[in-house]
Chain A
Amino acid sequence: MEKEDVAVEVIVSESAVFSETDQGWNQVCEALRGMVGADAFQRWFRLATWMGEEDGVAAVAVPGEIHQVWIETNYLPELTNAVTAVFEDVREVNVVLIEVPGVNADGSASHAPARSRKEEEVILLEGEALDKRVKASGLNPANTFESFVVGGNSQFAHAACLAVAKKSGVGYNPLFIHGGPGLGKTHLMQAIGQEILRAQPGSRVIYLTCEKFTNEFIDAIRRGDIEKFRRRYRSTDVLLIDDVQFLGGKERSQEEFFHTFNTLLDGRNQVVLTCDRPACEIKSLEPRLISRFECGLTVEMQPPQMETRLAILKKKAMDWKVRVDGSVLNFLAEKIRTNVRRLEGALMRVATYASLAGESVTVDKVEHLLRDLIREEASRQVSIDSIQKAVADHYDVRLADMTSRRRPASIAFPRQIAMYLSRSLTKGSLMEIGEAFGGRDHGTVIHACKKVTEMIDAEQGLKETLERIESQLRR
């Protein structure tokens, strides 16, 4: 033991040539030795090194997990006191592990590493075994990449999810998928889980809705076995959480989620989240969670275009083995625009009707059959009023300016945009639109539409602006 004492003395005496922080760390060591005793210092802190400080959190590195365990459970108060006495900005001290590749840093007998064992037995799961695992993870076996129809609206999201599932998207963590209801967020997310389960049967995948996460958390608090809850979620390889917007306003759950999230990200475990809006728009969500949601890859899912809607209907009709006339499919795709789930529901209704009634369905019959849906869909159509409000908001002009006679460019241009959107998004006639914009005549509206159409090609970013306003209106 004496010999080791000497070694430390040498380091201390050399400190003059070290930088200021090294000197600081040596002061910490001296203080620590007094607090924990020479034996404990030799045993646990002699090999510890100062990793620096950031935002009031200091890191001290130790060479073995046993050092980490023992210091954290027994000496953290002393270590924190010693550090804060020297480094005044520090509020918290973390004990981290330095990994020495190839060698067990703590010098323990090298147990066969579990990881390599796993890699050897990569056998793709298939059939029933896969089904079982998939169900146990809370996934719906129907939601796979194969069953997803990719269109322009979802191409990017699909590619990102595929990359995550194939582990090639290392930086895509967390993957944050947002978009309106019924656009396939959950489908893609579950597809990631299934693909990972299939390709790496050893991995642990958990899928659950945010609401279930919250409920389980509350249950765990009530039963007092919060540790079990933590282990379950913090030791998983892939965590898929649906509808995170429901975290808004739930402070305890947010905190728990925050820590779970950090643990997983630190361990480089994949986290995938879905939400019905961008992270920054979730109400009463802590800023630190928002910034964490945004630190990976964020992808948006748009409502599908006509062609994609048609493709989805055709695929579904084939999956369900129903024959539906092309004109009917066209009609459905045209009438139901915003929501794929609803689109499938409509097709199901038509198919059921056809099989029950035993007669071929025509567009007229479908229109009658789905009149409630179509009416509802139409009522979701945006009104001129809401367009004016959204555009005024976006360009930061007064709503009254939409109908006023004033014509400076800063007001006239947004007004023209609003007219253009009213023309393309509502069924209002030119007359009605003109009337709504302060009694202008139909020529003014035509002129506005023409001008904006030209501007879309000429001015960069205008198209995106229009799309953004439109998607806001459709929500």
Chain B
Amino acid sequence: MKFRISKEAFLEGLQKVQHVVSSRTTLPILSNVLLVAKDGRLQFTTTDLDVGITGSVEAQIEKEGATTLPAKRLVSIVRELPSSEVEVTVDAKNHAQIRSGPSFFKIIGLSETEFPPLPDFEGARVFKIPQQVLRDGLRKTSYAISTDETRYVLNGIFTSFRDGKMTLVATDGRRLAMVDADLEFPASHETDVIIPTKAVQELQRLLGDAGEVVVKLSDNQVSFTVGDSLLASKLIEGNYPNYRQVIPGDSNERVVISREALLETVRRVSLLSSDKSNSVKLVFSENHIEITANSPDVGEAQESMDVSYTGKPMQIAFNPEFLQAPLRALDSEDVYLDLIDEMSPGVLRIEGSFLYVLMPMRVTN
């Protein structure tokens, strides 16, 4: 196998797939990237057996072939190469020679026959989703995924295709984020799956602004095709808990707040929330919110915001990080905060489909 490629293209192809490389040491082949040179393109594939990803870039193929090379090492070599022209030759023993300008590297690979193939998706249900819709949905929900690995069904985004809608939900028990979007698919395709965190992260890297992503669902696998890149992942097996139970009913008070102003205020005030209490308090009075934080041994912070609020005076405390996360992910001008009382969860909404339920912190006065 032999090919010439520009350093930038080589690096781009590698960087698309390098995050999936396995850290497991039991199977050395999994720390390698599969390179396939064929039809004027160089294809890159990595897998950790849970998630697999493949993509390709243009290259000048002089001799077709395939091999696997240690991914991390290859990336660091290519990044440091002195010239923008790279020539790679791989012999039958999977020894690769990399030439670029005056430098020469020889690295030892493994045979491509040992590389586990990505699953195939024959007979899978196919969905076509605008990339932007999926990317948006993931951005607005993924920060709420639980990292508590003892409750593994929550370590992913619950994705439901029902009633002509795609619904994405993530929760960690203290907050819940949900987005839905209209989507056309045959009724026979209705299903619910849980996409694991790692696949969500990789998918977010892959998705762009325009075009469609083709999603294929089989019984326990999912794949996403964007252009000539393909991401395949196992699904989390098990039932997602009935999240609708979490969403509060009618609220008593609604306050409209400028998203950016709220985000910045909370960020500033939270500088003085201690690790122990880790909360910011929102005190509501007519057309006015006062946001405060204090740590007994450190000091306190206070900032007020003018808002349109006509309800009764009340106060509620939230974890500042949990309050900021959705504000960062959203892009609307204003947000609505619906409150019942200081002990009930607050609900953050926007114009359009988004909902974020946040449990209050208990305030000890």
Contacts and interface: CB of A to CB of B under 8 A. Distances in A.
B103 interface: no
Nearest to A42: B249
A74 B359 contact: yes
Nearest to B360: A74
B151 A69 contact: yes
A403 B359 CA distance: 79
B1 to A, nearest CB: 24
A70 B154 CA distance: 12
Nearest to A71: B173
B344 A227 contact: no
Interface in A63-81: 64-70, 72-74
B232 to A, nearest CB: 17
Contacts of B26: 135-136, 138
A100 interface: no
B238 interface: yes
B249 A64 contact: no
Interface string A157-174: 000000000000000000
Interface residues on A, range: 35 or more
B116 A65 contact: no
Interface string B219-239: 110000000000000000111
A108 B192 CA distance: 11
A117 B244 CA distance: 26
A66 B246 CA distance: 8
A235 interface: yes
Interface centre among B192, B219, B245, B246 (most CB of A within 10 A): B245
A74 B319 CA distance: 13
A70 B242 contact: no
B220 A117 contact: yes
A280 interface: no
Interface in A40-79: 40, 43, 64-70, 72-74
A30 to B, nearest CB: 16
Nearest to B173: A73
Contacts of B343: 36-37, 39-40
B341 interface: yes
Contact of A234 (B27, B150, B239, B340): B150
Given A36-B343, A138-B26, A114 B241 contact: no
Nearest to B244: A108
A209 to B, nearest CB: 14
B149 A108 contact: no
A114 B192 contact: no
B116 A227 contact: no
A43 B245 CA distance: 7
Contacts of B219: 117
Given A40-B344, A117-B219, A135-B27, A73 B174 contact: yes
A74 B174 contact: yes
A117 to B, nearest CB: 5
B321 interface: no
A70 B173 contact: yes
Contacts of A36: 343
Interface in A263-314: 263
Interface of B is mostly: loop
B243 interface: yes
Given A39-B344, A66-B245, A74-B359, A111 B149 contact: no
B241 A39 contact: no
B75 to A, nearest CB: 22
A72 B171 CA distance: 14
Contact of B241 (A66, A138, A263): A66
Given A39-B248, A228-B149, A108 B241 contact: yes
B147 interface: yes
A245 to B, nearest CB: 24
Contacts of B239: 65, 104, 108, 111, 113-114
A103 to B, nearest CB: 12
A67 B243 CA distance: 9
B49 interface: yes
A72 B242 contact: no
A231 interface: yes
Contact of B242 (A37, A107, A135, A263): A107
A316 interface: no
Interface string A200-231: 00000000000000000000000000011011
A47 to B, nearest CB: 11
A36 B340 CA distance: 13
A230 B147 CA distance: 11
A106 interface: yes
A132 interface: yes
Contacts of A263: 150
A419 to B, nearest CB: 54
A63 to B, nearest CB: 10
B264 interface: no
B127 interface: no
A136 B344 contact: no
A109 interface: yes
A6 interface: no
B160 to A, nearest CB: 8
B152 interface: yes
Interface string B45-70: 00001000000000000000000000
B8 to A, nearest CB: 33
B241 A132 contact: no
Interface string B37-49: 0000000000001
A228 to B, nearest CB: 6
Contacts of A72: 173
B173 A235 contact: no
A37 B344 contact: yes
Interface in A130-162: 132, 135-136, 138
Contacts of B147: 227
A59 B47 CA distance: 43
Contacts of B184: none
A1 interface: yes
Interface string A19-47: 00000000000000000110110010000
Chain B CB within 10 Å — which of A39, A69, A227, A228 has the most?
A69
Contacts of B116: 132
A36 to B, nearest CB: 6
A230 B152 CA distance: 11
Contacts of B192: 109, 111
Contact of B154 (A69, A136, A234, A235): A69
A263 B173 CA distance: 20
23 contacts: A1-B249, A37-B341, A39-B249, A39-B343, A40-B343, A65-B242, A66-B242, A66-B243, A66-B246, A69-B151, A69-B173, A69-B241, A73-B172, A73-B359, A74-B174, A106-B245, A108-B239, A108-B241, A117-B220, A136-B24, A227-B149, A231-B149, A231-B155
Closest 3 CB pairs of A and B: A231-B149, A73-B173, A108-B242
Interface of A: 1, 36-37, 39-40, 43, 64-70, 72-74, 104, 106-109, 111-114, 117, 132, 135-136, 138, 227-228, 230-231, 234-235, 263
Interface of B: 24, 26-27, 49, 116, 147-155, 162, 171-174, 191-192, 219-220, 237-246, 248-249, 340-341, 343-344, 359
Given A106-B245, A111-B239, 6 more contacts: A43-B248, A69-B173, A106-B242, A135-B26, A230-B149, A231-B155
